[in-house]
Amino acid sequence: MSTDLDAGRAERTTSESPAPTGEAGAPSRWRRRLSRWDVRFSPYLYVAPFFVIFGIAGLFPLLYTVWVSLFDWDLIDDNPSFIGLENYVELMGDAQFWKTLVNTVSIFVLSSGPQIVMAVLLAALLNTRLRLPTGWRVGVLMPYVASLVAIGIIFANLFGPNFGLVNGLLEVVGLDRVDWQADRFSSHVAIAIMVNWRWTGYNALIVLAAMQAIPQEVNEAAVVDGAGALRRFFHVTLPMLRPTLIFVVITSTIGGLQIFTEPKLFDAMPGSNNGGATNQFQTITLYMYQSAFEREDLGYASAIAWVLFLVIIVVALINFLLTRRIATTGEAKR
Amino acid sequence: MRHQRRHVFALTSVVTTAALLLTACGGSGDAGDGGEGDGAGGQGEQIELSIGTFGEFGYEELYAEYEAAHPNIKIVPHQTGQGGPYHQALFTKLGAGSGLDDVMAVEEGHLSDVLAKSSRFNDLSEIGPESVSPDRWLDWKYEAGRDKDGKLVGYGTDIGPLAMCYRKDLFEAAGLPSDPEGVKPLFETWDSYFEAGDRFVQASDGVAWYDSGAQIFNAMHNQLETGFFDREDNLVVETNTKIKENWDKVTAAGERGQSAGLVAFSNEWNSGFKSSAFATKTCPAWMLGVIEEQAGTEHAGKWAVTDAFPGGGGNWGGSYLTVPTQSEHPEEAAEFAAWLTEPEQQIKAFKAKGVFPSQVEALESPDLLSATNEYFDGINDGALFAEQARKVSHAQYKGPGDGKIQENASSPALQAVEQGKSPEEGWRQFVDAAKQIAR
């Protein structure tokens, strides 16, 4: 593709190059050199704005965070003192940090897992012959369009321990009320439901797009070979969704480990960053935010940010490998 | 007045950081005191003064008045809806060293953090007009605005004197006295309060005595001579035995079924008013609006308020006007802030937005004393709260992080106890969290 572009540009420049003056020599050689540079360097120039802006708005803060994490840096501090890796050492011994890490992973597993399974199933359903297909597809995307804060407030209401609708329904059905706030696992479930409600449809549409890109012939060949619908789904459709599934898994890993708004709004105490009375549903990002802007300990918060970054990379890698293994069953046969 | 109050509080019931917002009330007034001749602005030179407020200060008309009296000054107001983001921005800009307004309002709950950074604020007793004297304000209000070296960081605007609100109908049903005079003995001390709570809980079916332990604990705590910190800013949570005594009393009452376990300002708490989940409420002046808003018309006439409060008096909420050192016109800003916090202006703010004034003279104003509240049986609430304001005995010293300890250490720990932790475990959680914040 790049050669095409180059050829086009070369053509254009040469067509312009016969100067009206007609005098060959130094200027035309200069021009030729310019056009060669143009061909060679322009593409980099064209992509440069992204990288320049990324460098300023992305890379610099990233590296600066490393720098800050080496200091005892109060939010209002003229002379932060250098303390080396002390923030990290302290972090490793911080019970609250480990608690928030477990919370985060727990909420992540409870959300991402069911979410992707449901998204694939939903996509398979949407891929069948339906009346008003666009209506259904837009329908599953609706939760994603709704404002996150509104969702958070509404769900926090639904899961209210005393006057919430969910507990009311549980009671009608004859089950025990659940203290969605106080109980650690229940609060994770409630938050995961919030996350799933918002993201399942979004992921389903991505998977659906990939499903529709699967050539009809492959399926037809499987039908000819006598494969049933289930077998076709597991042995034809799923393996061919592999690249998309990897994408969905990695983005939901990144999102899932950074859950912030849902637990913040779920807290009964308005505006609180505690994630419940005993931090039972405080996530790492919430703890990081609390450290930075409530305890005003920027150094410590930066250290949390970096540890979180590493955790995300590790989990994303594990997920990547797992997904590849799961989806290679079809590949291996080739 | 009542109507406007409702308006202010309608906002707050929805949002987070409601407590902060509720108390956001500022003084304002007319140019009546132009005669003092304190023309610090210097005639001729045109200057702009910016003022940062949050919630509803009701200043708009008064800015114009001030401008009319000071032709060389242009007021640029910056109003933020919620107190939470407002104060966060305040501290961020304080750290950045620029971006603050010439006059910055600060809410009581954030005052300890501001006082801890008092070097970044002007001493109003030095740069402010000489005509401003400490006896403009109630003693405790004035004292709370000074840092521990005596530097005056903020001029008081409004306050939230505490009284007791209670449900007449529920009291009657439980066989307790229910008229405002008759209930006073119940609300004399905390012991009599908890004892009445026991009687009430036994006589009523599933209704709690108060909304949440944290609300009671905070009120008890603020009456102590020494708070979470001593004057040298040492954390004394463990050595100040009074704190543990309060803790034990509140958690014990909770275990006897007196607490509804509803976190203040949460959705569940709001619903608690509607579903009559509790019978008493610690009631700063601005809480009447919240109760009316949340309990709704179906409970009109059932709530009452009395001029008694266990253990004497107390205060919850209110703001100050400060002048950061960032200001380019500190003297003009201080003069402006001094003018806004004059009794005359505070009364106007009270009439406009129901903001309860902290000025001694304002508390004697006929406008204030004649105010009534229909929802609470037409009680003369202006006079009632003026009386309660005088009962506050002293300003407890608040160390750096004091507000955060209340918000992120004691309140969550008490909530955890109400969710099933043992009081001792809860106490450990509280102490550990307090230490971490004070670190």
pLDDT by residue (tens digit) across A73-118? 887 777 788 998 999 999 999 999 999 999 999 999 999 999 999 9
Of A96, A165, A269, A293, which to mutate for an interface test with B (greatest number of B Cβ within 10 Å)?
A269
A242 in a domain, yes or no?
Answer: yes
Closest-CA residue to A202 (of A238, A258, A247): A247
Shared domain for A205 and A318, answered yes or no, is yes
pLDDT, tens digit (0-9, with 9 covering 90-100), for A147-201: 999 999 899 999 998 889 999 999 999 999 999 999 999 999 999 999 999 999 9
A40 in a domain, yes or no?
Answer: yes
Shared domain for A54 and A138, answered yes or no, is no
- Find the CB nearest B263 among A76, A269, A295: A269
- Find the CB nearest B408 among A182, A274, A296: A274
Report how many domains make up chain A.
2
A201 in a domain, yes or no?
Answer: yes
Name the minimum distance, in Å, from the CA of A60 to any CA of chain B: 19
A316 in a domain, yes or no?
Answer: yes
Shared domain for A41 and A155, answered yes or no, is no
Which whole-number Å values give the CA distances from B138 to B147, B342, B363, in the listed order?
17, 13, 9
Closest-CA residue to B341 (of B114, B66, B149, B113): B66
Shared domain for A43 and A92, answered yes or no, is no
Please tell me the distance from the alpha carbon of residue A194 to that of residue A265, in angstroms, as a whole number.
Answer: 11
- CB contact A296 to B (< 8 Å): yes
> Under 8 Å CB-to-CB from B392, ≥6 apart: which residues?
B138, B140, B161, B312, B313, B314, B315
- Find the CB nearest A157 among B88, B91, B267: B267
A83 in a domain, yes or no?
Answer: no
- CB contact B91 to A (< 8 Å): yes
- Over its C-alpha atoms, chain B yields an Rg (Å, rounded) of 22
pLDDT, tens digit (0-9, with 9 covering 90-100), for B219-251: 999 999 999 999 889 999 999 999 999 999 999
A203 in a domain, yes or no?
Answer: yes
Domains, in order of start, for chain B: 2-160+317-391 (3.40.190.10), 165-315+395-438 (3.40.190.10)
Of B267, B417, B425, B439, which to mutate for an interface test with A (greatest number of A Cβ within 10 Å)?
B267
At what angle are helices B60-69 and B343-353 packed, to 10 degrees? 150
A8 in a domain, yes or no?
Answer: yes
- Please give the backbone phi and psi of residue A213, each rounded to the nearest 5 degrees, phi first: -85, -10
User: What is the complex's ipTM, to 2 decimals?
Assistant: 0.77
Shared domain for A59 and A102, answered yes or no, is no
Shared domain for A111 and A58, answered yes or no, is no
Shared domain for A101 and A151, answered yes or no, is yes
Shared domain for A47 and A144, answered yes or no, is no
A74 in a domain, yes or no?
Answer: no
Shared domain for A21 and A129, answered yes or no, is no
Q: Are A254 and A317 in contact (CB under 8 A)?
A: no
Q: A71: part of which helix (H) or strand (E)?
A: strand A71-72
Shared domain for A136 and A7, answered yes or no, is no
Asked if B271 and A162 come within 8 Å (Cβ–Cβ), the reply is yes
Q: By CA distance, what is A182's nearest residue in B?
A: B419
Domain boundary among the residues A68, A99, A117 is at A68
Asked if B415 and A270 come within 8 Å (Cβ–Cβ), the reply is no
- CB contact A181 to B (< 8 Å): yes
Q: What is the domain extent for residue A62? A: 2-68
The tokens for A263 are 């637990």
Please tell me the distance from the alpha carbon of residue B108 to that of residue B88, in angstroms, as a whole number.
Answer: 14
Shared domain for A185 and A320, answered yes or no, is yes
Domain containing residue A160: CATH number: 1.10.3720.10
Name the minimum distance, in Å, from the CA of A269 to any CA of chain B: 6
Q: What is the pLDDT along chain B (439 residues), one digit of tens a residue?
A: 333 333 333 333 433 333 333 334 433 333 334 334 444 444 568 999 999 999 877 787 899 999 999 999 999 999 988 888 899 889 889 988 899 999 999 998 899 999 989 999 999 999 999 999 999 999 999 999 999 899 999 999 999 999 999 999 999 999 999 999 999 999 999 999 999 999 999 999 889 999 999 999 999 999 999 999 998 899 999 999 999 999 999 999 999 999 999 999 888 999 999 999 999 999 999 899 999 999 999 999 999 999 999 998 999 989 999 999 999 999 999 999 999 999 999 999 888 888 899 999 999 999 999 999 999 989 999 999 999 999 998 888 888 888 889 989 999 999 999 999 999 999 999 999 999 888 7
Contacts of A163 in chain B (CB under 8 A): 267-268, 271-272, 275
Q: Which of residues 198-257 of B touch A (CB under 8 A)?
A: none
Shared domain for A164 and A231, answered yes or no, is yes
Q: Give the largest Cα separation in chain B, rounded.
A: 72
CA–chain centroid gap for A162, Å, is 34
